[in-house]
Amino acid sequence: MSAVSRIVSGSPFDFPTLPYQWVVKPEIELVILESPDGIRVDPEQFEAAVDERTLFVATSHVFFTTGYVQDISALAQIAHNAGAYCMIDGYQGAGQVPLKLTDTDVDFYTAGPLKWLCGGPGLAYLYVKSELITQLKPRITSWFATTQQFDFNPSGFEYRPDARRFELGTPALPTVYTALGGQEILDAVGIDQIINLNSELTNHLINKAHDSGFKIALPELEHRSAIIMIPHEDPISAVAHLAKEGVIVDHRPGFVRISPHFYNIKEEIDHCIEALASY
């Protein structure tokens, strides 16, 4: 690695934790790309920013603010063409968009149960491309990462040959149980059914919002997720008002973020938009 390595990020739409990892490291040059339309960052922008100094293309599968679904296979190809790795934050992707990582050539993919996987906070998942697992030595380790986990031998350490070499210690066990419960529900419904239901709910939400006078900037259909942003002058107070109406949504600067999942029904969406329109 050269004295200064380059990380190319898809911010400002990446969750800040992702670019924060690089901002605090003086040996890293962070390249933050700009959006041409306030919704997306194009693969061509990543390609133009990547060069021989690039260590990672690090960005999101689904932007947490706009709901834009990136083509992570294309991003992986761009990174690899420059000899770099591709790392994807999938927290807003796993559980709501089609995902088969072995078909994407992505090197690293992180996610967690808190969002669309219907679990809770305090747990995270890491995928590492199989051929990279034994090539990498974690900068931080624990007794879970060694082949001699229960030998309690402080003078001997050998990394596990599989993905467990990246484990950091005893997980938050209550969250493990909630995550397993969420996964059981998802498995029972089926990811294809979830994607279809979310598409129906999202289309209904978009039509209802348009009929109610809201102007929504949307990604192209193939880049659209179940995250829909409704423009609002005071999104914080609007979200508080909706909570009083029994509607739980979130806010981002200038927008109310509505994210229906498969367990919602169209009548709930109608109530949400009607309550927002009357506020």
CA distances from 185 to 29, 116, 172 (A): 42, 11, 20
User: For residues 223, 227, 233 and 234, what is the CA-based torsion angle, rounded to 10 degrees?
Assistant: -160
Structural contact between residues 213 and 230, judged by C-beta atoms closer than 8 angstroms: no
Name the class of domain 5-172: alpha beta
Question: What does the domain layout of the chain look like in residue ranges?
Answer: 5-172, 190-277
Q: pLDDT digit string (tens) for 245-268?
A: 999 999 999 999 999 999 999 999
Q: How far is the C-alpha of 216 from the C-alpha of 141, rounded, in Å?
A: 46
Q: pLDDT digit string (tens) for 76-132?
A: 999 999 999 999 999 999 999 989 999 999 999 999 999 999 998 999 999 999 999
Long-range contacts made by residues 73-81, C-beta under 8 angstroms, separation at least 24? 73/103, 73/104, 73/105, 73/106, 74/43, 75/43, 75/46, 75/106, 76/104, 76/105, 76/106, 76/107, 77/105, 78/43, 78/46, 78/47, 78/50, 79/50, 79/54, 79/107, 80/105, 81/50
Q: How far is the C-alpha of 101 from the C-alpha of 260, rounded, in Å?
A: 24
CATH number assigned to the domain covering 190-277: 3.90.1150.10
Q: How many CB atoms lie within 10 A of CB 276?
A: 23
Q: What b/e sequence results for 126-149 when a residue is b if at least 16 CB atoms lie within 10 Å of its CB, and e otherwise?
A: ebbbeeebeeeeeeebeeebbeee
Backbone φ and ψ of 231, nearest 5°: -60, 140
pLDDT of 10: 74
Closest by CA to 138, choosing from 177, 96, 167, is 167
Structural contact between residues 224 and 70, judged by C-beta atoms closer than 8 angstroms: no
Which three-class secondary structure state does DSSP give residue 97? coil
Q: How far is the C-alpha of 42 from the C-alpha of 61, rounded, in Å?
A: 13
Q: Is 6 left (phi over 0), alpha (psi -120 to 50) or beta?
A: beta
Q: pLDDT digit string (tens) for 126-179?
A: 999 999 999 998 989 999 999 999 998 888 899 999 999 999 989 889 999 999
Question: What helix, strand, coil percent values describe the chain, rounded to 5?
Answer: 35, 15, 45
pLDDT above 60 (res 1): no
Q: How far is the C-alpha of 29 from the C-alpha of 15, rounded, in Å?
A: 18
- Give the predicted TM-score (pTM) of the model: 0.92
